[in-house]
Structure 1
Amino acid sequence: MPDDELWTTGDIAERLGITTERVRQLSHRDGFPAPAGRAKHIRYWRARDIEDWIEKNRPDQGAAT
Structure 2
Amino acid sequence: MTRLQLMGTHEIRVRLGGISRQRAYELTMRRNFPEPVAELAQGKVWLAEDVERWIAEHRRSLADSEDDT
Q: CA deviation at 1:25?
A: 0.7
Q: 1:28 to 1:49 in 2, by over 3 A?
A: same
Could you tell me how far apart the structure 2 residues matched to 1:20 and 1:10 are?
8
Give 1:15's aligned residue: 15
Consecutive unaligned residues of structure 2, counting only runs of 5 or more, are 61-69
Give 4+ residue runs of structure 1 displaced > 4 Å after superposition: none
User: How many Å apart are 1:7 and its aligned residue?
Assistant: 0.6
Q: CA offsets per residue over residues 23-61 of structure 1, 9 Å max, x none?
A: 1111111110011101125111110000000010005xx
TM-score, normalising length: structure 2: 0.75
8 Å contact 1:3–1:48 — kept in the other structure? no
> Equivalents in 1 of 2:27, 2:55: separation in Å?
11
Q: Note if contact 1:26-1:32 (Cα within 8 Å) is conserved in structure 2.
A: yes
Which is helix-richer, 1 or 2?
A: 2
RMSD: 2.3
Point out the structure with max Rg over C-alpha: 2
- The total of aligned residue pairs comes to 60
